[in-house]
Amino acid sequence: EPEVTQTPSHQVTQMGQEVILRCVPISNHLYFYWYRQILGQKVEFLVSFYNNEISEKSEIFDDQFSVERPDGSNFTLKIRSTKLEDSAMYFCASSTGTGNYEQYFGPGTRLTVT
Amino acid sequence: QKEVEQNSGPLSVPEGAIASLNCTYSDRGSQSFFWYRQYSGKSPELIMFIYSNGDKEDGRFTAQLNKASQYVSLLIRDSQPSDSATYLCAVKAGKLIFGQGTTLQVKP
């Protein structure tokens, strides 16, 4: 069964460093998403991406964040200068369409900023 | 601000019982509703989705939607210890808006 994959599973970085989180969405999916979950809190939407551009972003997704689909399979989230409060689980998700279409989540990357 | 509300629990049920999980949402125009299961330290796993008023059954799971009252529920029949997890209600508005999740404990 196709699934979303994410690498790395755990990333430890120092405050101020840049990190890139990688995702491979399900192959026939066209819509891609990043969510994050701070320990003990809700899953929060960060950004959605379709047709090589951002379709929606949340208030969390400020200038420190960027997304890219560098090739036909990968979807990346970059945090330019990490802060302690960026420590969270980051989940990539994908779907075949918008509207009444399910989103499938990857296993997540645990980002720890020290 | 679109909100999704769930009782955080924990909801404790004995093995074999029916677990009932509830969710309310604020945006009356919402059309798509999802239940995800999340084990500790893991990602959300889709278990049910519902778009129309009424009930939708899939194995031991039944999702119920009442758009007039703006609530969604999930029933788990014959609950098993392996069902112990946090159940996340999500409402689609392009993106998914998640509730806090209800922790379910099924005791043998």
Q: What pLDDT does A10 receive?
A: 98
Q: Kindly state the average pLDDT of the residues B45-51.
A: 95
Q: What pLDDT does A54 receive?
A: 96
pLDDT at B1 > cutoff 80: no
Is the CA virtual torsion A78, A82, A83, A85 positive or negative? positive
The single residue listed with the structure tokens 């997890």 is: B85
| Nearest-CA distance B48 → chain A (Å) | 9
Tell me the per-residue pLDDT of A71-93, one tens digit each, with 9 for 90 and over: 888 999 999 999 999 999 999 99
Q: What pLDDT does A37 receive?
A: 98
**A43 to B49: CB separation less than 8 angstroms, yes or no:** no
Give the residue ranges of chain A where pLDDT is below 50. none
Going by the DSSP 8-state scheme, the letter that residue A86 receives in this structure is: G
List, as ranges, residues 56-95 from B with C-beta within 8 Å of A.
Answer: 88, 90, 92, 94-95
Identify the helix (H) or strand (E) that includes residue A98: none
CA-atom Rg of chain A in angstroms: 13
Return the number of CB contacts < 8 Å for A and B: 53
**B31 to A99: CB separation less than 8 angstroms, yes or no:** yes
Single out the residue of A2, A31, A43, A50 nearest to residue A93, CA to CA: A31
How many angstroms separate the CA atoms of A4 and A94, rounded? Answer: 7
Q: What percentage of residues in chain B have a pLDDT greater than 90?
A: 90
Q: What pLDDT does B94 receive?
A: 82
**A55 to B94: CB separation less than 8 angstroms, yes or no:** yes
How many angstroms separate the CA atoms of A81 and B41, rounded? Answer: 25
Q: Kindly state the average pLDDT of the residues B47-56.
A: 95
- In chain A, the residue whose alpha carbon lies closest to the alpha carbon of B98 is A43
Q: Kindly state the average pLDDT of the residues B96-106.
A: 97
Predicted confidence band at B11 (pLDDT cuts at 50, 70, 90)?
Answer: very high
Helix, strand, coil percentages for chain A (3-state, nearest 5): 5, 50, 45
Distances (CA, A) of B76 to B13, B46, B58, B69, B73: 11, 14, 10, 21, 10
